[in-house]
């Protein structure tokens, strides 16, 4: 069994505010997570960038995920000795260097060479968790071998035989944390993907070829390098056996039958899975209560980054009611987090941990593993500075008393 223990730096050595390792010149211009998005737009072919950046239908949920954070302001305390501050966080029996991790993102290996591996390796070296997506293009065994402690996220059909086989595969590989994503019973209406030229399966076309040729660095360092070293990318982790290549029409068939998945299947997974079980995609407090009743160790409050049901409530808005219903179960969240202040606002509203997706994907595209590490440093430094200015020494001190909500009712 591969250990999930991570090399967590001590507070004195945590690379939170000033990394001693020189930052490459190209990355030195990246001052925030949003800077990586602008750089990735220039680096990636339009269809690939569109897939990562895109959401569903009118982008209502995508935009509201950011608006929700803006509706909260800080009410800091002053004249507090904050010289002992640390953002070290313990969840689910493990200690991490910061209260954030890398969310699961499908087909990351099209954004950067061996994208899933470099995301997971950067996370491990920085003492935070990364979650490998079930729609990744690198076998889950390979990723865990490179980065022990990685979590595995699964999209499961309502088929007990296929469920048992994939769960058993993850267990045998050595994963100790299984994240079951439950907010994708059917594929979303991602019109933005179509408009930017992305499709599932990925269809070769003159437009796609032109997009690749006009991005020669991506073409050589990511796509052609992958073809030469590993062949045509396949969906490697949807089932117990290798899935279809990304250009195969059978890809669509592989993504069906998820509308059968229900709580009985969760109970079955809980009986079979010996490790930590997380349910991702919770927005309603009653579902949080059901997750607890079915033996989940934690939930991730998420609207899939706005990529599924357009108009779904933002996780930050849903968070307080979910926390109330969760009892002692660990509550985490993702979607819309872009700043250290966002991380702290989520913690103040009851989350124990936060996951960030797209910005780390962009960072991998721009700078590989060094880019991801730099993005982690930036977010970690923001958390550290904000803690100091809020007057807290531990992330556990972050609570709703330090927030002011705009609108009626205020605090």
In angstroms, the CA 234 to CA 225 distance is 15
Phi/psi at 111 (nearest 5 deg)? Answer: -85, -35
Instruction: Tell me the average pLDDT of the chain.
Output: 91
Of 360 and 25, the one with more pLDDT? 360
| Predicted pLDDT of residue 196 | 86
> DSSP 3-state assignment of 248?
coil
Instruction: Quickly state the pLDDT bin for 67 (edges 50, 70, 90).
Output: very high
| Predicted pLDDT of residue 8 | 45
Rounded to 10 degrees, the C-alpha dihedral 180/345/366/373 comes to -80
Instruction: Quickly state the pLDDT bin for 243 (edges 50, 70, 90).
Output: confident
For the four alpha carbons of 218, 48, 128 and 61, in that order, the dihedral sign comes to positive
Model confidence at 203: pLDDT above 90: no
304 as an active site residue: the answer is yes
Model confidence at 18: pLDDT above 50: no
For the four alpha carbons of 148, 149, 150 and 153, in that order, the dihedral sign comes to positive
> DSSP 3-state assignment of 381?
helix
Model confidence at 106: pLDDT above 90: yes
Q: Which of 63, 260, 265, 304 is catalytic?
A: 304
Nearest to 59, CA basis, from 176, 193, 230: 193
Instruction: Quickly state the pLDDT bin for 183 (edges 50, 70, 90).
Output: very high
For 15, 24, 66, 189, the CA distances from 381, given in Å and listed in that order, are 8, 18, 20, 37
Quote the crossing angle between the two packed helices 46-53 and 206-213, to the nearest 10°. Answer: 90
Instruction: Quickly state the pLDDT bin for 10 (edges 50, 70, 90).
Output: very low
Q: Is the CB of residue 294 less than 8 Å from the CB of residue 261?
A: no
| Predicted pLDDT of residue 256 | 60
Q: Is the CB of residue 314 less than 8 Å from the CB of residue 332?
A: no
Query: What would the pLDDT profile of 269-313 be if each residue is shown by its tens digit?
Result: 999 999 999 999 999 999 999 999 999 999 999 999 999 999 999
Percent of the chain topping pLDDT 70: 91
| Predicted pLDDT of residue 2 | 43
Model confidence at 13: pLDDT above 70: no
Model confidence at 22: pLDDT above 90: no
Percent of the chain topping pLDDT 90: 78
Model confidence at 255: pLDDT above 70: no
- Report the first-to-last Cα separation within the chain, whole angstroms: 48
For the four alpha carbons of 314, 320, 324 and 329, in that order, the dihedral sign comes to positive
Rounded to 10 degrees, the C-alpha dihedral 235/357/310/348 comes to 140
In angstroms, the CA 364 to CA 108 distance is 9
Q: Which of 23-32, 76-85, 123-132, 364-373 has the lowest mean pLDDT?
A: 23-32
Model confidence at 260: pLDDT above 90: no
CA angle 331, 335, 338 (to 5 degrees): 110
In angstroms, the CA 270 to CA 277 distance is 7
| Predicted pLDDT of residue 112 | 97
Q: Is the CB of residue 374 less than 8 Å from the CB of residue 48?
A: no
What is the β-pairing status of strands 72-74 and 403-405? antiparallel
Instruction: Quickly state the pLDDT bin for 21 (edges 50, 70, 90).
Output: low
In angstroms, the CA 381 to CA 339 distance is 10
CB atoms within 10 A of CB 42: 11
Instruction: Quickly state the pLDDT bin for 246 (edges 50, 70, 90).
Output: confident
Model confidence at 389: pLDDT above 90: yes
| Predicted pLDDT of residue 197 | 83
DSSP state of 397: G
């Amino acid at each position: 069994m591969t250990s999930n223990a991570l090399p967590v730096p001590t507070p004195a050595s945590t690379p939170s505010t000033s990394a001693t390792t020189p930052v490459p010149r190209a990355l030195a211009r990246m001052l925030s997570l949003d800077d990586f998005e602008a750089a990735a737009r220039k680096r990636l072919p339009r269809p690939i960038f569109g897939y990562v950046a895109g959401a569903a239908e009118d982008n209502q949920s995508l935009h509201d995920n950011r608006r929700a954070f803006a509706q909260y302001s800080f009410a800091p305390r002053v004249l507090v000795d904050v010289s002992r501050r640390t953002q070290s966080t313990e969840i689910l029996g493990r200690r991490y260097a910061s209260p954030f991790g890398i969310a699961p993102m499908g087909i990351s290996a099209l954004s950067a060479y061996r994208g899933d591996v470099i995301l997971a390796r950067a996370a491990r070296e920085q003492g935070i968790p990364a979650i490998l997506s079930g729609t990744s293009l690198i076998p889950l065994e390979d990723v865990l071998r490179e980065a022990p402690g990685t979590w595995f996220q699964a999209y499961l059909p309502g088929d007990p035989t296929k469920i048992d086989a994939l769960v058993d595969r993850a267990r045998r590989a050595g994963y100790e944390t299984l994240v079951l994503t439950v907010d994708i019973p059917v594929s979303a209406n991602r019109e933005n993907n179509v408009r930017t030229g992305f499709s599932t399966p990925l269809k070769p076309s003159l437009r796609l070829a032109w997009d690749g040729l006009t991005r020669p660095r991506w073409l050589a360092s990511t796509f052609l390098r992958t073809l030469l070293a590993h062949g045509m990318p396949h969906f490697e982790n949807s089932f117990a056996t290798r899935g279809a290549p990304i250009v195969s029409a059978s890809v669509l068939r592989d993504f069906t039958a998820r509308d059968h998945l229900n709580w009985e299947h969760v109970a079955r997974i809980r009986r079979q899975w010996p490790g930590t079980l997380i349910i991702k995609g919770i927005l309603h407090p009653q579902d949080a209560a059901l997750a607890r009743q079915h033996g989940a160790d934690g939930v991730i409050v998420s609207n899939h980054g706005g990529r599924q049901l357009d108009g779904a409530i933002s996780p930050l808005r849903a968070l307080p009611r979910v926390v109330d219903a969760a009892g002692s179960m660990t509550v985490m969240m993702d979607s819309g987090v872009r700043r250290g202040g966002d991380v702290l606002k989520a913690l103040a509203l009851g989350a124990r941990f936060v996951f960030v997706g797209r910005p780390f994907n962009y960072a991998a595209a721009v700078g590989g593993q060094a880019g991801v590490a730099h993005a982690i440093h930036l977010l970690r430094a923001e958390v550290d500075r904000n803690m100091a200015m809020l007057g807290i020494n531990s992330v556990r001190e972050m609570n709703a008393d330090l927030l002011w909500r705009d609108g009626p009712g205020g605090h």
